[in-house]
């Protein structure tokens, strides 16, 4: 709950900061003419990047709400989290590798080296696939140890959170695949944009996974934060 | 008026907005069906929403038949009644209002009003519509599966939503949840488009503070929807898993017919939090575009600049932000810490302030205006009255002590139908009469329109005013039949019958509207490019209806805000946004009324 409020507080603060720079105090009824030579929309950043940023904000909202439900449920007495499969560490490492590889791909594209782009993309994509496979193996490991979704809410949350993250990752893989297929023929400038978008999304997926992993595996107590925020009410 | 950067010496070179590549259609299918033109997508959204809305209208008839004449219609059993309620509510709120305002009006108007060629991601935009259509089809399919659609109430509260005994427990609820998830996925695609288009594709000179209020309303509502729908998505997925896989996210330990169920340890209240975290912003997701559209209708048809434009923009933003911290006022009867109740009651009442600012500004726009009582204006006025009515009862229900006794009565039904049923629908109609000439090139018949308005407006009051009274008497909502209840007088039954008859008449009046939509396509008066003599860009297109790409060879350049009506010292009574100079000399600074 606290996390959700902080997250939304952050979003609202950003929105207000952005709006405050948009001349909302203007008096349009007193003005005519064209202000400046620039088009009104900010075209220094490509539309696709802004679109992706907004999409990532929406996905973050989804995950934050899920985590907030998770943490609310965690406080109840019968909470018994499943053991964390050691495989998750390896999966995390693989996802970090994917992220680094895509970072390299962007840099290689900047230097105009198609071969390096291709190899980085291949490493990144494969690592992404391995992450998904690793998550499935972790599921199997848990399931064969008897931790099924229907047993305990803690188990169910584990499956749900990993599944939703995995689905978004599969979407990322599709985008990566599409970028890969245009590798040979697309002009480098256009490729550059696609790669940057893919890399941003994978960095986001990695960061999201690390937050989720910490929440799932260690379930950090946030009592102090709750105590701090509810202090004025007591 | 003060001059900005450019001199007063004539037109400015063409806009330097980078041209976008438009995916041009290659034949009938890509022109009319799988079109990537936002205008076609907007029309597709509108027609689909109207079609599914008709289903919901018929469902409300059936409900009213049962309430007005209990026991007369044998095919309406309690099970069917609950299914009608559920589907009516969900369809009207999500699949009609949300889709029509954002998908319909949003798609059609955003690029045109901002001087853009199209949405920034046309393919994603097309996908958005087709996923919406799929969501609608999945929803409709639930009428035909064994057990019929879900009857859990539109809020789908667990545990009852997925327990045996609730109608549609086998298939209906599953299809409903799947359909909602699809809708949200489709909406997210559209929503990204609307926001990025507003941020990125505005033409030269169109600053944020020169955008028509319609766009401000749609933009803010879209941002809210992007943040609120994930909550419904999470709730729907978790409920789906509870139903299909037997998880216990929301399902507590339960004994059903002497049998202990396998569920245990879930929290039903958690679902309520998730649902209403979406549900309350949803009210404003519907209301904000309505606020915006009605501002433009009033200003255009009263030939007067909108009063307090800045304040209107700020109020829209403030309402949008506040609506995220009021959700628990839907849960007073679920029980909560008294401090929470106090907090949520306070935030709820605070929303009345920006809302009241908007109402005053509309009234002050009308004041000394040259009011043309044509059909769009009638609907706009109808909206203001209805919204104030519904809003005032909201002040009652926002208080915990008043809400608790009234919560399960018809009073609540009357309140939310006034404020988020009738009021936004008034704007939808007003908007359709207003923009139909741009969409088709022909006017809607105004005689039919006036009949439609008066029957709808007076009828809505005849339906929902008495409901407040029934609620105060204690007549419960959601009940299939009241039967012999000591505190309900016989007159209440007569009133119920009266309401039902009026509901049938009002429903029939909507058929007249549909007839008008079709009839005017061929027989309507020729509209010309700008029949309302309006200032905003969509009326300045080179063709009517606008072609693909909207603007011919060059994008328009915007020189002024959207509300230059009756500017002092200017001969013409309106100055379009893309007109460099009024025909007469400039007015001295400070003469224009704010």
Cβ within 8 Å of residue B172, ≥6 positions away: B83, B142, B145, B147, B148, B149, B150, B151
Q: Nearest CA to B457 among B357, B361, B387?
A: B387
* pLDDT for B230 beyond 90: yes
> What is d(CA B181, CA B174) in angstroms, rounded to the nearest whole number?
11
Q: Which residues of A touch B558 (CB under 8 A)?
A: 34, 40
Query: Contact B331/B337 with Cβ under 8 angstroms?
Result: no
Q: Which CATH number fits domain A47-221: 3.40.50.2300, 1.20.120.80, 3.80.30.20, 3.40.50.720?
A: 1.20.120.80
From the CA of B5, how many Å to the nearest CA of chain A? 5
Interchain CB distance below 8 Å, A23 and B209: yes
Cβ of A163 under 8 Å from any chain B Cβ?
Answer: no
Give Cα A99 distance to the centre of its chain: 12
Helix%, strand%, coil% for chain B, nearest 5: 65, 0, 35
By CB atoms closer than 10 A (0-12, 13-18, 19+), residue B4 is middle
From the CA of A47, how many Å to the nearest CA of chain B? 6
From the CA of B273, how many Å to the nearest CA of chain A? 9
For chain A, which residues make up each domain, given as ranges?
A: 47-221
Cβ within 8 Å of residue B557, ≥6 positions away: A34, B11, B12, B14, B15, B203, B204, B205, B578
Confidence of residue B590 (pLDDT cuts 50, 70, 90): very low
Tell me the average pLDDT of chain B: 90
Mutation pick from A1, A24, A33 vs chain B, by most beta carbons of B within 10 Å, is A33
* pLDDT for A215 beyond 80: yes
Nearest chain A residue (CA) to B16: A39
Interchain CB distance below 8 Å, B4 and A33: yes
What per-residue confidence (pLDDT) applies to A42? 55
Closest residue to A28, CB basis, from B200, B561, B590: B561
* pLDDT for B2 beyond 50: no
Closest residue to A42, CB basis, from B16, B200, B310: B200
Tell me the average pLDDT of chain A: 85
Cβ of A55 under 8 Å from any chain B Cβ?
Answer: yes
pLDDT in tens, B40-98: 999 999 999 999 999 999 999 999 999 999 989 989 999 999 999 999 999 999 999 99
Cβ of A189 under 8 Å from any chain B Cβ?
Answer: no
Interchain CB distance below 8 Å, B192 and A31: no
Nearest chain A residue (CA) to B338: A233
Percentage of residues in chain B having pLDDT higher than 70:
94
Q: What is the CA radius of gyration of chain A?
A: 22
Query: Contact B454/B508 with Cβ under 8 angstroms?
Result: no
CA dihedral over A5, A6, A7, A9, signed as positive or negative: positive
Torsion angle of the four alpha carbons B219, B221, B224, B230, in this order, in degrees rounded to the nearest 10? -110
- Mean pLDDT for B198-213 is 91
From the CA of A83, how many Å to the nearest CA of chain B? 18
* pLDDT for B372 beyond 60: yes
Cβ within 8 Å of residue B473, ≥6 positions away: B487, B488, B489, B492
What per-residue confidence (pLDDT) applies to B3? 43
Q: Residue A55's CB: how many other CB atoms inside 10 A?
A: 20
Start-end of H helices in B265-328: 268-301, 309-322
Interchain CB distance below 8 Å, B208 and A156: no
> What is d(CA B547, CA B537) in angstroms, rounded to the nearest whole number?
14
What per-residue confidence (pLDDT) applies to B554? 87
DSSP output for A21-58: TTTTT--GGGEES--SSSBSS--SS-HHHHHHHHHHHH
What per-residue confidence (pLDDT) applies to B97? 96
What per-residue confidence (pLDDT) applies to B4? 45
Percentage of residues in chain A having pLDDT higher than 70:
88
Beta-strand ranges (E) seen in B171-270 are: 255-256, 259-260
Interchain CB distance below 8 Å, B195 and A11: no
What per-residue confidence (pLDDT) applies to A233? 67
What per-residue confidence (pLDDT) applies to B583? 56
Torsion angle of the four alpha carbons A175, A176, A177, A181, in this order, in degrees rounded to the nearest 10? 100
Q: Please give the structure tokens belonging to residue A114.
A: 């198609």
DSSP output for A207-229: HHHHHHHHHHHT----HHHHHHH
Beta-strand ranges (E) seen in B31-170 are: none
Confidence of residue B7 (pLDDT cuts 50, 70, 90): very low
Whether CATH 3.40.50.1000 fits B37-540: no
pLDDT in tens, B97-108: 999 999 999 999
* pLDDT for B591 beyond 50: no
Q: Which residues of A touch B224 (CB under 8 A)?
A: none
Percentage of residues in chain B having pLDDT higher than 90:
74
* pLDDT for B327 beyond 80: yes
Cβ within 8 Å of residue A223, ≥6 positions away: none
For chain B, which residues make up each domain, given as ranges?
A: 37-540
Weakest mean pLDDT among B18-32, B172-186, B216-230, B544-558: B18-32
Cβ of A232 under 8 Å from any chain B Cβ?
Answer: no
| Interior/surface letters B139-158, b for 16+ CB within 10 angstroms, e for the rest | bbebeeeebbbbbbbbebbb
Angle in degrees, 0-180, between the axes of helices B338-350 and B352-366, rounded to the nearest 10: 10
> What is d(CA A105, CA A191) in angstroms, rounded to the nearest whole number?
10
Q: Which residues of B touch A231 (CB under 8 A)?
A: none
pTM, rounded to two decimals: 0.92
Interchain CB distance below 8 Å, B5 and A35: yes
What per-residue confidence (pLDDT) applies to B149? 95
From the CA of A35, how many Å to the nearest CA of chain B? 5
Query: Contact B67/B133 with Cβ under 8 angstroms?
Result: no
From the CA of B246, how many Å to the nearest CA of chain A? 5
B363 three-class SS:
helix
């Amino acid at each position: 709950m606290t996390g959700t409020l902080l997250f939304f507080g952050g979003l609202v603060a950003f929105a207000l900061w952005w709006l405050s720079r948009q001349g909302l105090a203007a008096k349009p009824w007193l003005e005519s003419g064209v202000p400046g030579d620039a088009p009104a929309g900010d075209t220094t950043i490509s539309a696709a990047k802004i679109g992706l940023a907004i999409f990532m904000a929406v996905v973050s909202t989804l995950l934050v709400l899920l985590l907030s439900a998770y943490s609310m449920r965690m406080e109840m007495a019968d909470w018994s989290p499943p053991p964390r499969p050691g495989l998750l560490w390896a999966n995390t490492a693989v996802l970090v590798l994917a992220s680094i590889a895509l970072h390299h791909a962007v840099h290689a594209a900047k230097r105009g080296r198609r071969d390096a782009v291709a190899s980085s993309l291949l490493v990144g994509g494969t690592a992404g696939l391995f992450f998904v496979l690793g998550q499935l193996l972790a599921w199997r490991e848990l399931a064969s140890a008897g931790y099924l979704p229907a047993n305990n809410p803690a188990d169910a949350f584990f499956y749900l959170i990993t599944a939703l993250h995995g689905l978004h990752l599969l979407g990322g893989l599709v985008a990566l695949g599409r970028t890969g297929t245009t590798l040979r023929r697309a002009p480098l400038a256009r490729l550059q944009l696609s790669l940057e978008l893919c890399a941003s999304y994978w960095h986001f997926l990695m960061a999201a996974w690390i937050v989720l992993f910490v929440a799932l595996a260690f379930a950090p107590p946030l009592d102090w934060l709750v105590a701090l925020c509810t202090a004025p009410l007591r | 008026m003060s001059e900005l950067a450019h001199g007063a010496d004539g037109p400015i070179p063409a806009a330097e907005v980078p041209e976008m590549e438009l995916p041009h259609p290659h034949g009938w299918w890509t022109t009319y069906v799988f079109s990537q033109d936002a205008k076609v997508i907007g029309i597709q959204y509108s027609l689909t929403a109207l079609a599914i809305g008709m289903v919901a209208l018929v469902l409300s008839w059936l409900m009213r038949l049962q309430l007005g004449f209990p026991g007369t219609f044998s095919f309406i059993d309690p099970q069917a009644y609950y299914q009608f309620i559920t589907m009516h509510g969900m369809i009207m709120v999500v699949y009609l209002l949300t889709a029509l305002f954002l998908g319909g009006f949003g798609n059609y108007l955003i690029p045109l009003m901002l001087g853009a060629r199209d949405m920034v991601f046309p393919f994603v935009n097309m996908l958005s519509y087709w996923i919406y259509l799929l969501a609608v089809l999945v929803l409709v399919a639930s009428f035909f599966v064994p057990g019929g659609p879900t009857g859990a109430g539109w809020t789908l509260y667990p545990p009852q939503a997925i327990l045996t005994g609730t109608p549609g427990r086998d298939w209906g609820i599953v299809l409903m949840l799947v359909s909602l998830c699809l809708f949200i996925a489709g909406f997210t695609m559209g929503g990204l488009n609307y926001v990025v288009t507003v941020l990125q594709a505005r033409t030269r000179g169109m600053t944020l503070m020169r955008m028509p209020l319609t766009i401000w309303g749609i933009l803010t509502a879209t941002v809210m929807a992007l943040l609120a729908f994930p909550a419904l998505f999470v709730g729907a997925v978790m409920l789906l898993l509870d139903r299909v896989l037997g998880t216990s996210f929301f399902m507590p330990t339960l004994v059903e017919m002497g049998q202990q169920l396998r569920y245990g340890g879930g929290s039903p209240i958690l679902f309520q939090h998730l649902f209403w975290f979406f549900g309350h912003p949803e009210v404003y997701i519907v209301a904000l575009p309505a606020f915006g559209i009605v501002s433009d209708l009033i200003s255009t048809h009263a030939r007067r600049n909108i009063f307090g434009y800045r304040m209107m923009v700020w109020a829209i933003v403030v309402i949008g932000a506040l609506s995220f911290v009021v959700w628990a006022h839907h849960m007073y009867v679920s029980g909560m810490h008294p401090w929470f109740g106090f907090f949520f009651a306070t935030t709820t009442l605070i929303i009345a302030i920006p809302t009241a600012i908007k109402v005053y500004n509309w009234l002050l726009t009308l004041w000394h205006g040259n009011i043309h009582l044509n059909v769009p204006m009638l609907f706009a006025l109808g909206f203001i009255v209805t919204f104030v009515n519904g809003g005032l009862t909201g002040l009652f229900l926002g208080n915990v002590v008043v809400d608790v006794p009234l919560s399960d009565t018809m009073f609540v039904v009357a309140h939310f139908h006034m404020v988020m049923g009738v009021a936004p629908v008034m704007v939808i109609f007003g908007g359709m009469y207003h923009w139909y000439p741009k969409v088709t090139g022909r006017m809607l018949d105004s005689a039919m329109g006036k009949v439609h308005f008066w029957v709808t407006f007076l009828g809505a009051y005849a339906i929902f005013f008495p409901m407040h009274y029934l609620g105060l008497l204690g007549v419960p909502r959601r009940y299939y039949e009241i039967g012999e209840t000591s505190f309900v007088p016989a007159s209440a039954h007569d009133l119920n019958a009266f309401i039902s008859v009026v509901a049938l008449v009002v429903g029939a009046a909507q058929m007249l509207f549909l007839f008008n939509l079709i009839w005017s396509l061929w027989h309507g008066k020729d509209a010309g490019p700008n029949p309302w003599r309006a200032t905003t860009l969509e009326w300045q297109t080179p063709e009517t209806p606008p072609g693909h790409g909207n603007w011919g060879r060059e994008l328009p350049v915007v020189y002024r805000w959207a509300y230059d009506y009756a500017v002092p010292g200017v001969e013409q009574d309106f100055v379009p946004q893309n007109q460099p100079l009024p025909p007469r000399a400039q007015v001295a600074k400070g003469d224009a009324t704010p």
